[in-house]
Amino acid sequence: MFRFTSCMAVLAVLFGSARVAANPVESPILNVTAVGDIHTIIHSVNGGVDWSSQPSPTTDGYEAVDFITSRMGWTVGSRGIILHTTDGGTSWKQQSSGTLDVLLGVDFVDADAGWAVSNDGTIVHTNNGGADWLKQTSGTFEGLLDVKFVDSNRGWIVGGAGTILHTTDGGANWNNQASGITTPLISVDFVDANTGWAVGSLGEIVHTNDGGTNWNSQHSGVTHQLLGVDFFDGNTGWAVGTDNAGDSGSILYTEDGGTNWSSQMSGPGVILAAVEFLDGNTGWAVGFDGTILHTTDRGVTWSSQSSGTVLNLRDVAVGVPEPSTLILLTMGALGLLACGWRKPRR
C-alpha cells in the first residue's frame, strides 16, 4: 500500500504560503505488475486501463512479485528462479538463488534486504539487493508459502500444517509460533510489528495483535480456500480465493480488523490468487485465466480489466515512484522540505 504526502497543502495551512523550488513534478506513474504461469509478466502504468507483456529471460513460471518503488522489483518462481528489475520491468535480470526449489513468496523491505521462501521449507535471504542470496535455517520441512517483513529484523513466514515462523533478527533465527490450526496457511500480511493476519485452507483466518505471541481465529463465513490477503490499515482488509465448489473466485472484506468479514462480488467465475491495494479504495485482484479485477471504491464494485493473456496469474504488486518533490518555504530558516509518494513499511 502507498500514500501520497501533500506537503503544500499542510504548509499553506501552517504558514500561509510556500513556493516551489523548481518546476512542479509531473504526476507520479504507478507501476502495477502481475506475474504467472509460463514466464508471464505483465504490467500497467495507467492503473490497468492498458496491460502489456514484459520480456522474461526464462521460460519458468512465476509465483510471487514484490516492488519497493515503481522501478525496483523482484519476482520468484519455479526451479529457484529469481528475477530483478531496476527499470520497472523493461528488462529483468536473473539472480542466483542457490536452490532449485519452487520459490512461492518474496518480500523486500528496501533496496537491499529481502527474503524468499519455498515449497520445501527453504528460506533464502539477501542483504545486497540479490547480488548474493544465502540460505537461512527454517527448522521445518513444511512447505513455506508466503513471507512478510515490517522492517529488516522482524518478519513472519506461513506454510503447511498451520506453520507460522517468526524472526526478530532478520532471519538469523526463526522460531515457531502457535497458529492454533493444522491446515495450510497460504498468505500473510502485517500492518505493523504487532498487527497481522494469515489466511489459508478451509476459509481459515488467524489474527494477532501482539506480533504473533497469540494468534486467534476469525470467522470468515466460508469454507473454501483463501489464497491472498491484504490490509491497508488495522481495520480495512481483503482476502481472496476460491468459492466453496473450488472452481470460482471470491472476495472477502472487513472494516473492523476482521471481527466481521463480508463477501464482495468477484465478477468472473475464476479462482482469485492475490490482491493488492494502493490505498483504502483502489486495488487489484488477479487470478486464473488471466483474470484482473479492479476497484476504486474499496470493493463495492469490481470491474474486469483486459490482461492480454489467458494464463493463470499468481500475484500482483503495486510500485510507486520514490519521493521526489522539493518545496522551499518562504520562511527561509526552515529550508527545504521533501514531499511525495512514500511506501510505509507495514
How sure is the predictor about 330, in pLDDT bands with cuts at 50, 70 and 90?
Answer: very low
Q: Which domains does the chain possess?
A: 1-28+321-346 (no CATH), 29-320 (2.130.10.10)
* Model pLDDT, residue 248: 84
Please check the confidence at residue 13 and state whether its pLDDT lies above 70: no
Dist CA 309 CA 290 (whole Å): 5
Strand partners, 124: 116, 135
Q: pLDDT at residue 3 above 90? A: no
Task: Give the whole-angstrom CA distance, residue 285 versus residue 275.
Answer: 4
Greater confidence (22 vs 169) lies with: 169
Q: Is the pLDDT of residue 40 over 60?
A: yes
Taking the C-alpha atoms of residue 71 and residue 65, their distance in angstroms, rounded to an integer, is 13
Decide which of 11 and 2 is more confident. Answer: 2
Section 213-226 average pLDDT: 96
What is the percentage of the chain residues whose pLDDT exceeds 70?
Answer: 84
Q: What is the pLDDT of residue 289?
A: 96
3-state SS, one letter per residue, for the chain: CCEEECHHHHHHHHHCCEEECCCCCCCCCCEEEEEECCCEEEEECCCCCCCEECCCCCCCCEEEEEECCCCCEEEEEHHHCEEEECCCCCCCEEECCCCCCCEEEEEECCCCCEEEEECCCCEEEECCCCCCCEEECCCCCCCEEEEEECCCCCEEEEEHHHCEEEECCCCCCCEEECCCCCCCEEEEEECCCCCEEEEEHHHCEEEECCCCCCCEEECCCCCCCEEEEEECCCCCEEEEEECCCCCCEEEEEECCCCCCCEEECCCCCCCEEEEEECCCCCEEEEEHHHCEEEECCCCCCCEEECCCCCCCEEEEEEECCCCCEEEEECCHHHCEEEEEEECCCC
Contact in structure between 2 and 318 (CB atoms under 8 Å): yes
Confidence at residue 268, expressed as pLDDT on a 0 to 100 scale: 61
For the residues 285-291, what does the mean pLDDT come to?
Answer: 97
pLDDT at 163 > cutoff 90: yes
Check residue 323 and give its pLDDT. 62
> What's the pLDDT score for residue 119?
95
Percent of the chain residues past pLDDT 90, beyond the cut: 80
Q: Nearest to residue 181, comparing CAs of 149, 144, 218, 147?
A: 218
pLDDT at 294: 97
Say whether pTM exceeds 0.85: yes
The cell numbers describing 69, all together, are 518503488
Average per-residue pLDDT for the chain: 87
pLDDT of 337 above 90: no
Least confident of 73-82, 259-268, 295-304: 259-268
Cell digits for 341?
A: 509518494
Q: Output phi, psi for 290, to 5 deg.
A: 70, 20
State the average pLDDT over residues 49-54: 97
How many Å from the N-terminal Cα to the C-terminal Cα in the chain?
9
Q: Is the pLDDT of residue 189 over 90?
A: yes
* pLDDT of res. 2: 42
CA torsion angle 77 274 53 324 (round to 10): -100
pLDDT reading at 6 higher than 80: no
Asked whether the predicted pLDDT for residue 215 surpasses 70, the reply is: yes
pLDDT at 321 over 90: no
Grid coordinates representing 340 are: 511525495
The full length of the chain comes to 346
Task: Name the residue with higher pLDDT: 93 or 321.
Answer: 93
